[in-house]
Structure 1
Amino acid sequence: MKLQSSQQFSTLQSAAERLRTAATSGTAVAPVRDLIGRDDVEAAYAVQSIGVAHRRALGARIIGRKIGLTSPAVQQQLGVDRPDFGVLFHDMQVPQTPPAERPLLLQPKVEAELAFVLAADLDHDRLDADTVRGAVAYAVAALEIVDSRIAGWDISFADTVADNASSGWFTLGERHLMLSEFEPREITMRMSIGQDLVSEGTGAACLGDPLNALAWLARTARELGNPLREGDIVLSGALGPMAPLIPGEQVRAELSLGTAILSCVEFTWENA
């Protein structure tokens, strides 16, 4: 999007305001690509940054990042072809956050993934799957409740990036996994809602290896001047297709290696 700086700033603010209106009213809005274009990555992340700054001004704390669009199945579902990232705020983590304090959900879906918690900053020159491994304190099964402020999930790449990577809530399993115990790319995932199996996948579905996704995010965040830090939670990306979140139904995801369940996580949405 090539505009004069004042016009560009006004356009970015308009896009951010449209998304903010949806987030506060609970009513989904039209895509923002009419304002910023379908594929203008710089403009999309600028809109995301405006939204992040607004939330921080209201007291929200950043506790990590989420990587999106890492699974071919999810890319196909949404019609996009590359990963993106967004910010995790403290009030997105459930059930730790009381229902009344959580962000509104408009049209939520759920996906299962592997989360990493960092033991060290990732701000050095070499950031690949091997080097980021040493910065991981532990991994854990995660459910991400993704959401879109854009009506009908009618999103382009720029729309989802601007909308904080279609973030909603997330929850982590209790069992911490050391990377000495398993290879993330070798795990399998099964996610059920109620009694129905709704999603399956593998670690290799996440950019070939969830550690590749972590390395991609670490490089991208460093290049943008906001590197990953010790203590950050990183949701590394879906391991299989997402599914609609159903009020009152329990979602359960299991991460396994062979026949052994490594970690599981459960969540029931009671805030409908």
Structure 2
Amino acid sequence: MEKWDYYSHLLLNAERERQPLSPLTELDSTLTVNDAYQIQLRTIEQKMKEGHRIVGKKIGLTSVAMQQLLGVDQPDYGHLLDNMVVEDGGTVPWERVMQPKVEAEVAFVLKRDLVGPRVTMLDVLQATDYIVPALEIVDSRIADWKIRLADTVADNASSGLYVLGEKRVPVHSVDIAQIGMALYRNGEVANTGVGAAALGHPAFCVAWLANKLYEYGKELRAGEIVLSGALSAAVNAEPGDFFSARFAHLGEVRVQFAP
């Protein structure tokens, strides 16, 4: 068994058994970011064999603070599968998550393919059908979120679940970089953010993603959802918590965790 397959197997078992594992970078100090993307692809391929399908992508590490924390100078990405979506206002059973945190971000829904390597922000805006408010429930199969870049990339960019708001907004009707956001936990403001927090503009993050995917022979497809990156820090979730995010021009999106 190749090491990529072996580490994918470890992550899949951790998820199925809800038992976080030690950082892969501690198990293998030679693990590179390219190795990590290959591990991620092995995991996604296995889930597709089990009947799931890819519905989009998520972008992580879009804030300078998070990049500095992990000692990197670019974002990362993961895959969204059809079983990761939670309806707006829905309830997440606690057994579906392990170490959840909640982030608020802008989601892009594409009407045209985006194929690297020279995708620009303008290309992204022209290829976008609409944007919606979103909550991403990030999660980690690595114990205590003790992650380095290769750990989170291998772990599908710490993807968990996601929620899309119901209001669909044409991309050219708002200045996405200036959209303000407030994230609430149990009715109290947990943090605030603005579109520009995602590397200056959420569409820049989507352009980065399209160009990064090209390196692995992949592309963004029409109809896919792209979570463009958190507008503020992730907030820890506990059983019974209720989260909502309110965005200027985009409306609200909500999710509840079962007690």
Give me the TM-score of the superposition, normalised by structure 1: 0.88
Moved more, 151-160 or 200-209: 200-209
- In the TM superposition, 1:1-272 aligns within 5 A as 10-37=2-29, 40-75=32-67, 80-95=72-87, 104-123=96-115, 126-256=118-248, 261-270=249-258
Structure-2 change in CA distance of 1:244 and 1:38 (3 Å):
farther
**Alpha-carbon distance between aligned partners in 2 of 1:188 and 1:170, rounded to the nearest angstrom:** 20
Unaligned runs of 5+ in 1: 1-8
Contact kept, 8 Å, 1:24 with 1:104, in 2: the verdict is: no
**Alpha-carbon distance between aligned partners in 2 of 1:222 and 1:49, rounded to the nearest angstrom:** 14
Shift of 1:184: 1.1
**AA partner of residue 244 (structure 2):** R
1:5 corresponds in structure 2 to none
Contact kept, 8 Å, 2:116 with 2:219, in 1: the verdict is: no
Structure-2 change in CA distance of 1:223 and 1:138 (3 Å):
same
**AA partner of residue 123 (structure 1):** V
Shift of 1:131: 1.3
Contact kept, 8 Å, 2:176 with 2:195, in 1: the verdict is: yes
Q: Secondary structure at the match of 2:2?
A: helix
**Alpha-carbon distance between aligned partners in 1 of 2:110 and 2:174, rounded to the nearest angstrom:** 17
**Alpha-carbon distance between aligned partners in 2 of 1:36 and 1:217, rounded to the nearest angstrom:** 27
Runs of 4+, deviation exceeding 4 Å: 76-81, 96-100
Identity %: 41
Q: Secondary structure at the match of 2:244?
A: strand
1:3 corresponds in structure 2 to none
- How many correspondences in the alignment? 258
> Which protein, 1 or 2, shows the higher relative CO under an 8 Å CA cutoff with sep ≥ 6?
2
Structure-2 change in CA distance of 1:103 and 1:184 (3 Å):
farther
**Alpha-carbon distance between aligned partners in 2 of 1:81 and 1:30, rounded to the nearest angstrom:** 25
Aligned Cα root-mean-square deviation (Å): 2.2
Give me the TM-score of the superposition, normalised by structure 2: 0.92
Contact kept, 8 Å, 1:73 with 1:240, in 2: the verdict is: no
Q: Deviations over 1:13-46 (max 9, x none)?
A: 2211211111000011101113454771110101
